[in-house]
Homo-oligomer: A and B are copies of this chain.
Amino acid sequence: MTKQQRRKPGETRERLMNAALALVGEGRHFSSLGIRELTRKAGVVPTAFYRHFRHMDDLGLQLVDELGLALRRVMREARANVGQSEKLIDESVAIFINHARDNRNVFLFMAQGLAGESRAVHEGVRSEMRFFTMELANDLRRLRLVDHLSDADMEITCDLVVRTVAFSLTDLLGVSPEDDYQIQQIEQRTARFLKLIFIGAEHWKSRDR
């Protein structure tokens, strides 16, 4: 205990990031967190913060990058396991909501970033969303579920899907993580939104523009 530097390399950095997520999970907004508050939560001396980040925005940005990376990996795997049946939407939504539930703090942080103070974090979240939109479009092409749409129309459709799911995250914000009933409601509602969108896409003709 008396010796310094007993932690593994990178551990302090990780602890700080986790502390930020934990505070967000407790209902705080990222932009209102302070450095001392964060280091206290992380069990680390205040000065240690500066060894890894220049300021809070810096931490937020790095958080977005790392979380985005992890998230993409998870969703790719999830999508690979989805059968090609009509249950596609329900399954995908269920996977996503479950993942959001297991990583509640992460998604709350992302949701905050949508309208957050830091331009950098905002951009980061947007860029993740764009990425999801692209991957979704690729998947739909691959599964040949929506063949008649132009590339631009496909992009619009997928963008709307991603937005809708993202908005559902903010629904989760107001609900206790243990409230299974409410969470299931959100899940069902989200699935219906998506079905509505896909029915729209099915009947969409370019002249409708």
Contacts and interface: CB of A to CB of B under 8 A. Distances in A.
Nearest to A174: B122
A81 interface: no
Contact of A189 (B32, B116, B156, B189): B156
Q: Chain A at the B interface: mostly helix, strand, loop or mixed?
A: helix
Contacts of A55: none
Given A117-B29, A117-B32, A203-B202, A192 B156 contact: yes
A167 interface: yes
Interface in A160-209: 160, 163-164, 166-167, 170, 173-174, 189, 192-193, 195-204, 208-209
Interface residues of A, number: 42
Query: How many protomers of this protein does the assembly include?
Result: 2
A27 interface: yes
A174 B123 contact: yes
Nearest to A34: B32
Interface stretch (A7-15, A70-78, A107-115, A131-139): A107-115
A204 B199 contact: yes
B196 A157 contact: yes
A119 interface: yes
A108 B164 CA distance: 19
Interface in A101-160: 108, 111-112, 114-117, 119, 122-123, 126, 156-157, 159-160
A17 B181 CA distance: 38
Given A111-B115, A119-B27, A173-B115, A195 B208 contact: yes
A98 interface: no
A79 interface: no
Nearest to A113: B115
Given A32-B117, A115-B173, A195-B208, 9 more contacts: A28-B117, A31-B31, A114-B114, A157-B196, A160-B164, A196-B204, A199-B203, A200-B200, A200-B203
